[in-house]
């Protein structure tokens, strides 16, 4: 072949590849974006099983003057990533890592192995359904950091949403091939605040931006989510009594002495709630019927705070509200923390580049007073439902922390019209749970799942996210 023929062939191939990418809805990265993507590419983690999909991890700066940067870990979909939506997952706390819980113990493609610097493959990972993005937010959580120490004292719901939005804008600059993809947000627990609040920022900003600058945001899904303090706490007590966790005396004492619509508890309520929380020192509040870890030492981080260790008056009336007994495998967080604190792992992830002065933990002790947290997030949810976003709420029905009782009571406060009444849905031949379809919102229960639904019911959780992303109702007959 002569040089001119070779050149023409080469150009044809380049144009053909570009055309395939553009037709598929992706703009290929070039220039600075390509350099930054390549720098963030994770080629192989210590002890990682071989996979065919790409993964990236690193930092996105969200405030130049303060030196605030958020750490992310991103997995392309297992197949056809150019055709799959982009899904962001957030855990709550406030102060807990989406990488520690959501990624490595629930729905990500890898799970840490006991006693080894090793990962096993999760064949029910959500990147079977979507391109999957995990974010450690706000700064002070996991590997995310600020060079301005006072930032850790100024955190709250508002700043978290603003920084997360800035993160997304800058992440799309680094990964422009995903800008046109349908974008969804998901999360659990205190992400019942994070997810709707970030959704609202995107929803409002999109109204003011030209079409080419908007995020292609379609909806959100939240699980066992803190959305309304009064209903969450009322339902928590009712659920505990109804599931034979607390005695009649304790139940009646709480009902008599506590008014969960008030922001400050009385001494009598504190005493009654103290008796209520005693039982959760011996069983797992977050999964009533699974064992607790017996390997953890007394000073272990095993009993981490899924809902934070910050001022209790913000979210509840009692300090024990925040304590997080672990899920199942009940000792899994130990393996995760050991893996994430391995220097070789951190280098492979391009993490901890500033040499943070504290170890990586599931839930941060570095965050100070939490500045703002509304008593109810229901007005935000109602606004976004009215705005036409796809909204699903799911609830594992063996969670005692934000039980299905609480979520049902909270959703009733929205006042939405019921489109389809309480209906069983199926995972093959078995009932997976129940659904109730409201006008603009789908509620799904998961039978036998605790607080972290993908941990306890991975097959059913994957089924739910696939149906949410494709905007299909769950099957109502065995299949």
Indicate which residues carry an active-site annotation. Answer: 189, 399, 451
Contact (Cβ atoms closer than 8 angstroms) between residue 376 and residue 411? no
The gap from C-alpha 110 to its chain's centroid, in whole angstroms, comes to: 16
The Cα–Cα gap between 448 and 288 comes to 10
Q: How many Cα atoms occupy the beta-carbon half-sphere of 238 within 13 Å?
A: 15
Q: What is the CA radius of gyration of the chain?
A: 23
- 172 in Cβ contact with 65 (< 8 Å): no
Spell out where 122-248 has E strands: 131-136, 145-146, 183-189, 217-225
Looking only at the bridges linking them, the beta strands covering 390-396 and 441-446 are parallel
For residue 152, CA distances in Å to 91, 199, 355, 369 come to 18, 23, 17, 8
Question: How is 5-59 classified by DSSP, letter by letter?
Answer: HHHHHHHHHHHHHHHHHHHTT-PPP-HHHHHHHHHHB----TTPPP-SS-EEEEE
Q: Give strand ranges (E) for 64-182.
A: 68-75, 86-90, 110-112, 119-121, 131-136, 145-146
């Amino acid at each position: 072949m002569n040089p001119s023929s070779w050149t023409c062939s080469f150009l044809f191939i380049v144009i053909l590849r570009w055309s395939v990418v553009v037709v598929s809805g992706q703009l290929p990265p070039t220039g600075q974006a390509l350099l930054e993507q390549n720098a963030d590419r994770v080629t192989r983690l210590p002890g990682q099983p071989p996979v065919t999909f790409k993964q990236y991890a690193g930092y996105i700066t969200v405030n130049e003057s303060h030196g605030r940067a958020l750490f992310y870990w991103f997995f392309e979909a297992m197949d056809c990533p150019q055709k799959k939506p982009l899904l962001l997952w957030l855990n709550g706390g406030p102060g807990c890592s989406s990488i520690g819980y959501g990624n490595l113990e629930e729905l990500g493609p890898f799970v840490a192995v006991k006693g080894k610097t090793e990962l096993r493959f999760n064949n029910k990972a959500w990147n079977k359904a979507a391109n999957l993005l995990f974010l450690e937010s706000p700064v002070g959580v996991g590997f995310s950091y600020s060079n301005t120490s006072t930032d850790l004292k100024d955190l709250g719901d508002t700043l978290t949403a603003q920084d997360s939005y800035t993160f997304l804008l800058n992440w799309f600059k680094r990964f422009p091939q995903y800008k046109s993809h349908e974008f969804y947000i998901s999360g659990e627990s205190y992400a019942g605040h994070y997810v709707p609040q970030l959704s609202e920022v995107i929803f409002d900003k999109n109204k003011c931006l030209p079409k080419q600058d908007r995020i292609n945001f379609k909806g959100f899904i939240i699980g066992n989510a803190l959305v309304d303090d009064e209903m969450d706490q009322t339902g928590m007590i009712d659920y505990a009594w109804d599931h034979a966790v607390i005695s009649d005396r304790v139940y009646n004492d709480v009902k008599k002495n506590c008014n969960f619509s008030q922001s400050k508890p009385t001494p009598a309520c504190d005493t009654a709630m103290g008796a209520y929380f005693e039982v959760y020192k011996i069983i797992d509040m977050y999964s009533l019927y699974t064992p607790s870890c017996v390997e953890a030492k007394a000073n272990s981080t095993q009993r981490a705070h899924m809902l934070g260790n910050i001022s209790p008056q913000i979210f509840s009336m009692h300090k024990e509200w925040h304590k997080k007994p672990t899920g199942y495998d009940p000792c899994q967080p130990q393996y995760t923390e050991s893996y994430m604190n391995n220097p070789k792992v951190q280098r492979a992830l391009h993490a901890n580049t500033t040499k943070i002065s504290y170890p990586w933990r599931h839930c941060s002790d570095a965050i100070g007073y939490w500045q703002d947290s509304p008593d109810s997030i229901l007005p935000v949810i109602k606004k976004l439902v009215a705005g036409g976003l796809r909204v699903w709420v799911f609830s594992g029905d063996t969670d005692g922390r934000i039980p299905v009782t609480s979520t049902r009571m909270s959703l009733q406060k929205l006042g939405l019209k019921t489109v389809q009444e309480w209906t069983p849905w199926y995972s093959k031949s078995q009932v997976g749970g129940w659904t109730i379809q409201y006008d603009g919102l789908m509620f799904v229960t998961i039978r036998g799942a605790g607080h972290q639904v993908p941990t306890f019911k991975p097959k059913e959780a994957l089924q739910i996210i696939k149906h949410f992303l494709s905007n299909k109702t769950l099957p109502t007959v065995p299949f």
